[in-house]
Structure 1
Amino acid sequence: MRSPTPVIAPAANVEGGWGLERIVAELRQARERWRAAQQRKREFGVREFPSRDALRDIAAALCGGLFPMRLGPADLCRGGEDFYVGHTLDSALNALLHQVRLELAYEARHDGGSPDEISARAVDIVRAFAAGLPRLRELLDTDVQAAFDGDPAAHSVDEVLLCYPGVLAVIHHRLAHELYTLGVPLVARILSEIAHSQTGIDIHPGARIGGGFFIDHGTGVVIGETAVIGQRVRLYQAVTLGARRFETDAEGNLVKGGARHPIVEDDVVIYAGATVLGRITIGSGSRIGGNVWLTRSVPPGSNVTQAGVRHERLEGGDGAYI
């Protein structure tokens, strides 16, 4: 015999209630203190910032528009590709336009700008983004091919596109980087963080990455904002391309901006767990071994290993690797 569904008492019947009137008031006070500390003196009564949920849907639609027969709907037929792509991109780009307007309007409240100027700029940004999608698809094709060529376990480029978290992260990065360079860094950052949460791969949208880029396995990879990566570079899991130190001003606050992440030249492979820090250059064709900690530039064709680093330090080297 089926057990009866338990009855949950409404909140009003809980002895003493939840004290919501007090909690709501205290939360309002906390918001007001925060807004005052952030010098937000005006309340506009509407959403000020782009929506993560909306951008997640936009990203999924853009992926489908770029790769309709692989990342589009399950029932799509080849004969309906163009209609699907056109309809999907029209919807996604209009939704993106609204998110871009939100970011630009927020900036304008602090920096100035009329509603007409904001709308015109938002349209220009999304139009430029849309015009770049065919070029972006061709660039992504090189990334997919690099993943297939670089992994003996891959049976087809379709498997790579459907299954590999590194490829998903790179697709999102290519989209986010376009928007970053067009002047909407918050929308771009949200797009990149959506992929980060899904894949464990953290690529800042400001990073400049050449074609044929492959992240194998991927979990724990971190690529900083000012990193520059050349053509045909391969990274394995838990690789960090990070900053070595953070400059501060006289008051101890972090100085924003500045080139602080590595430059990785063409045809470099960086193996699992390697940490490469600071504005250094990894010369073309180099191999950086697993778990190496590297803080100095290396010339083209270098082969850097843990054993080599330990030997250099034991032999009285300058310790620049550490």
Structure 2
Amino acid sequence: MNDSMDRITEMIIQTYKEKGVLNHLEGPNLPSRKSIREIIRNYESIIFPGFESEENLDSELISYTIGAKIQQLAKDLTLEIRKSLKFGCRMKHKTEHCTVCAESAEQITLAILNKIPELREKILLDVEAALAGDPAARSSEEVILSYPGLEAIVVHRFAHELYLKEVPLIPRMMNEYIHRHTGIDIHPGATIGERFFMDHGTGIVIGETTIIGNNVSVYQGVTIGALKVVKEEAEVKRHPTIDDNVTIYSGATILGGETVIGENTTIGGNVWITSSVPANSRIYLKPPEYIIKNGLA
């Protein structure tokens, strides 16, 4: 048995040598999934103090409490961004010796932290949109504590800022963490306006080059995607533009980089759209024909 285990180990090690794809060899060189989860939790606790964990918030000590969270977030984010930037250098320049990644990581972290007040204002508008848009919502606190759509947009807005700074890996890691957690898949490249509301949320997919305006509501199972999956088109706009005040009901599929859904439009459930829709439209399927047999075969 021991001989077999040794042989299996040697075979696995050989795949490392031949194929690569391993981390922490002679030191960590990729961002840590665990660290990214901690960054998300810390960020969420800054956006909504007291909602993420059991903590006593004293009005006289709130500056100290939030200051400590910001310090920890800055430390953790800088470290993970530095590893991500070094990865990017290896991919672009095939070098292990980047002389600017550490300084760049600090600059990016500071820029992202400076965005948090603005992000919080946008997120509070998202809370208002959920409270106004869902008759079942009884309070802002209920929305914050229990709505997966809100959690997804909270994380997306943070990941999007990292995406705009061209930080490798981390935005997608954040996206996929919240995807697994909520069933909502928003690429960090998607641009999303104010007062965005995802009701129920499960199964929503929003592609990288999507542009969504203000006061948009999206229901479960909606796909805002590309007409085709072609690697050569990675740098072009592949996903739709959704203008202001649009509602997209469950199961609708909207595809294509040239597709624009005009403002004040309602898209009905299960509709398939691959071309632009003018403003002030209502798009829906014809009602089905019901055949009632009164119990007869």
* TM-score normalised by length of structure 2: 0.90
1:30 maps onto 2:19 in alignment: no
**Cα offset, 1:29, TM superposition:** 1.8
CA distance in 2, matches of 1:69, 1:44: 39
Q: Is the CA contact 2:88–2:168 (under 8 Å) kept in the aligned structure 1?
A: no
Query: 2:212, 2:243 within 8 Å by CA — same for their partners in 1?
Result: yes
Aligned residue type for 2:277: V
Whether the 8 Å CA contact 1:240–1:276 is kept in 2: the answer is yes
Greater shift, 153-162 or 77-86, is seen at 77-86
Deviation of 1:73 (Å): 3.5
Selected match of 1:266 from 230, 244, 249 = 244
The total of aligned residue pairs comes to 284
Report the AA paired with residue 282 of structure 1. Answer: I
Aligned counterpart, 1:133:
116
SS for the counterpart of 2:238 is: coil
Alignment-derived partner of residue 111 in structure 1: 92
The 1:179/1:18 distance shift into structure 2, 3 A limit, reads farther
Following the alignment from structure 2 to structure 1, what is the Cα–Cα distance between the partners of residues 233 and 17? 28
In the other structure, the counterpart of 1:233 is 216
Aligned residue runs from structure 1 range 191-210, under 5 A: 191-210=174-193
Question: Post-superposition shift, 1:246?
Answer: 2.6
Could you tell me how far 1:177 is from its partner in structure 2?
A: 0.3
Deviation at 1:18, TM superposition (A): 8.8
- Point out where structure 2 has 5 or more consecutive residues left out of the alignment: 289-297
Deviation at 1:65, TM superposition (A): 1.1
> How many angstroms apart in 2 are the aligned matches of 1:31 and 1:267?
52
Check the 8 A contact 1:101/1:118 in 2, yes or no. yes
Q: What residue number does 2:235 align with?
A: 257
Aligned sequence identity (%): 39
Greater Cα radius of gyration, structure 1 or 2: 1
The answer (yes or no) to whether the contact 1:240–1:274 under 8 Å persists in 2 is yes
Residue 61 of structure 2 corresponds to residue 80 of structure 1: yes
Superposition CA RMSD, Å: 2.0
TM-score (ref. length: structure 1): 0.83
CA drift of 1:257 comes to: 2.3
Which stretches in structure 1 are left out of the alignment for 5+ residues?
1-15, 249-253, 311-322
Tell whether the 8 Å contact from 1:206 to 1:226 is kept in structure 2 after alignment: yes
Letter paired with 1:266: D
* Kept in 1: contact 2:226–2:239 (CA 8 A): yes
Corresponding residue for 2:165? 182
Q: Which residue of 2 aligns with 1:124?
A: 107
Distance in 1, Cα, partners of 2:241 & 2:49: 34
Instruction: Decide which of 279, 283, 287 is 1:300's aligned counterpart.
Output: 279
Partner AA of 1:68 in structure 2:
P
Equivalent position to 1:282, from 236, 261, 267 = 261
256-265 vs 24-33, which deviates more? 24-33
How far does residue 47 in structure 1 lie from its aligned partner after superposition?
1.9
Distance between the aligned counterparts of 2:168 and 2:249, measured in 1?
Answer: 30
Counterpart secondary structure, 1:215: strand
Question: Shift of the alpha carbon at 1:281?
Answer: 0.3
Q: Does 2:276 correspond to 1:291?
A: no
**46-55 vs 108-117, which moves further:** 108-117
Of residues 140, 146, 158, the one that matches 1:157 is: 140
Question: Does the aligned pair in 1 maintain the 2:87–2:168 contact within 8 Å?
Answer: no
Residues of 1 paired with 2:190 and 2:157: CA distance? 10
Partners of 1:278 and 1:295 within 8 A in 2: yes
Whole-angstrom CA distance in 2 between matches of 1:18 and 1:62: 49
* Structure 2 Cα separation of the partners of residues 109 and 246 of structure 1: 27
Cα distance in 2 for residues equivalent to 1:146 and 1:165? 14
What is the Cα deviation at residue 186 of structure 1?
1.1
User: SS of the residue aligned with 2:50?
Assistant: helix
